[in-house]
Amino acid sequence: MIPSIPLQVPKMQVANPPLKQGAGPFRSKVGMALVCWLLAACSPGSNLPKLAVTPPGPYRLGVGENVRVITFGEERLTGQFRVNDRGDIAIPLLGTIPASGLTTTELEQSIAKQLSAKKVLLNPSVSVEVLQYRPVFIPGEVAKPGEYPYQPGMTVLTAVAIAGGFTYRAETGYASILRKDDGHAVEGRVPRGMGVRPGDVIDIFERYF
């Protein structure tokens, strides 16, 4: 009987192809860029466009605001009036006068015209000022979501401060604002330093990571 002799197959070493010079850092940069792109695409509110920045222009009155009307020489026509749900104010001796959508100057002129037309005063002098603006609404990741009085010069960040600050889950770099512009509702992403207008809805997102 012939004894079997084990065969030893020599191991073959396959050399890895050398990396091209600079390929490592290039791949690392591409990977990091891809990760950043994915994070941005998955960020809350990423599907919203940026809110267009438009010049504020003269302020126009809205429903729910309180104005002071001063009619010089006629105490009965001087007082505080609220813009009702129909957009009117009710003034003694004149009845209802449209106010929503008007500037304070336009409302002054409208009241003066009515006073002259109804022969209440011959040369009326009328002044109108806003006492209380429409509130702003702050839902989302703030400590105390809700409705808050508007203050001139208010920004997203100051509105958040009034609402108790961000929660620990909040996206703090930006927010969204829903507002009416020329009678149409528009919504978009805004930086936290963006100016706020009366009636705005400021939504603070919850971050994913």
Q: What is the pLDDT of residues 168-198, one digit of tens each?
A: 999 999 999 999 877 788 999 999 999 999 9
Q: What is the pLDDT of residues 67-94, one digit of tens each?
A: 999 999 888 889 999 999 999 999 998 9
Q: How far apart are CA 50 and CA 67, in angstroms?
A: 33
Q: Give residue 75's pLDDT.
A: 85
Q: Give residue 27's pLDDT.
A: 56
Q: How many CA atoms lie within 13 A of 183 on its CB side?
A: 3
CA-based nearest residue to 207, from 171, 176, 160:
171
Percent of the chain scoring above 90 in pLDDT:
61
Q: Which domains does the chain have, with CATH numbers?
A: 66-132 (3.30.1950.10), 136-203 (3.10.560)
| Residue 38 pLDDT grade (very low, low, confident, very high; cuts 50, 70, 90) | very low
| Residue 111 clears pLDDT 50, i.e. is over it | yes
Instruction: Report CA-CA distances (Å) from 92 to 6, 74, 155.
Output: 117, 11, 38
Prediction pTM value: 0.72
In our burial notation (b when 16+ CB lie closer than 10 A, e otherwise), range 42-73 reads ebbbeebeebeeeeeeeeebbbbbebebebee
| Residue 53 clears pLDDT 70, i.e. is over it | yes
| Residue 37 pLDDT grade (very low, low, confident, very high; cuts 50, 70, 90) | very low
| Residue 96 clears pLDDT 50, i.e. is over it | yes
CA-based nearest residue to 72, from 120, 104, 118:
120
Segment 54-60 mean pLDDT: 81
| Residue 47 pLDDT grade (very low, low, confident, very high; cuts 50, 70, 90) | confident
126 vs 44, more confident? 126
16 vs 49, more confident? 49
